[in-house]
A and B are shown apart, each in its own frame.
Chain A
Amino acid sequence: EVQLVESGGGLIQPGGSLRLSCAASGFTVSNKYMSWVRQAPGRGLEWVSVIYSGYNTHYADSVKGRFTISRDTSKNTVYLQMNSLRAEDTAVYYCARVIAARLAFDIWGQGTMVTVSS
């Protein structure tokens, strides 16, 4: 079964760091485009980051310079390293697979909650 499972969320103080993980099963992340999308409480979906082939990565302006997306093919896992966290980063973070030829998000995880608060 094709599946994505996120982990690593929690309560973190402003200015802190957190690393989210997205474990994939049923397919290999090494040859897929993978993305992170978040939803703040009471708000809509917001695209955060994508990793294309190789190390080609892109970020939303709101997280550029603070977040880093990466993948470990040996663990079949995608990561989101989040530094200098702010209250406005509080959200459910979803991992999603991107269909390369369609540039659409076809598989989504259940999400992991990140709360940035003192």
Chain B
Amino acid sequence: QSALTQPASVSGSPGQSITISCTGTSSDVGGYNYVSWYQHHPGNAPKFLIYEVSNRPSGVSNRFSGSKSGNTASLTISGLQAEDEADYYCSSYTSRSTYVFGTGTKVTVL
């Protein structure tokens, strides 16, 4: 199972919006709406941000939003803040009843 493809890095200024893409195949992202997103500050446990493509768990800021078109899912962070600087990963359930993560995107706040 190959990792989902994400851009290595994305950057933006405070207050701006950025979008991170996550591209898979019809056997994972394109075949199911079980796409989730995670924020990871190195040294800490990953934080659960989005489930089922576009749903936010309780307590997650509404600045984080998700969407999907075909085999590509996206995470948008609006009103970028310094605390958003972290690594972001998408994940998808697969046709083999397994999971696959994205390659990860480092977000830098300029």
Q: For the complex, would chain A's binding face be called helix, strand, loop or mixed by DSSP majority?
A: strand
Query: Which residues on B sit within 8 Å (CB–CB) of A108?
Result: 45-48
Query: Which residues on A sit within 8 Å (CB–CB) of B38?
Result: 45, 105
Whether B64 is near chain A, meaning CB under 8 Å from some CB there, is: no
- In the complex, the chain B residue whose C-beta lies closest to that of A49 is B98
- In the complex, the chain A residue whose C-beta lies closest to that of B52 is A102
Known: A60-B1, A102-B34, A110-B44. A47 touches B51 (CB 8 A): no
- In the complex, the chain A residue whose C-beta lies closest to that of B4 is A44
Known: A44-B89, A45-B89. A104 touches B102 (CB 8 A): no
Query: Which residues on B sit within 8 Å (CB–CB) of A47?
Result: 91, 98-101
B98 in contact with A104 (CB, 8 Å)? no
- Interface magnitude class on chain B: 20 to 34
Whether B68 is near chain A, meaning CB under 8 Å from some CB there, is: no
Known: A45-B38, A45-B40, A60-B1. A106 touches B48 (CB 8 A): yes
Whether A99 is near chain B, meaning CB under 8 Å from some CB there, is: yes
Least Cβ–Cβ distance between B10 and chain A, in angstroms = 15
Query: Which residues on A sit within 8 Å (CB–CB) of B89?
Result: 44-45
Whether A46 is near chain B, meaning CB under 8 Å from some CB there, is: yes
Distance in angstroms between the alpha carbons of A6 and B28 in the assembled complex: 29
B51 in contact with A61 (CB, 8 Å)? no
Known: A44-B89, A102-B52. A50 touches B101 (CB 8 A): no
B36 in contact with A60 (CB, 8 Å)? no
Query: Which residues on A sit within 8 Å (CB–CB) of B104?
Result: 44-45
Whether B97 is near chain A, meaning CB under 8 Å from some CB there, is: yes
- Please list 14 pairs of residues, one from A and one from B, whose beta carbons are closer than 8 Å in the complex, sorted by A's number: A45-B38, A45-B40, A47-B91, A47-B98, A50-B99, A52-B97, A58-B97, A94-B46, A102-B34, A102-B52, A105-B48, A105-B91, A107-B48, A108-B46
Query: Which of B's residues lie within 8 Å of A, judged by CB?
Result: 1, 3, 32, 34, 36, 38, 40, 44-48, 51-52, 55, 57, 87, 89, 91, 93, 96-104
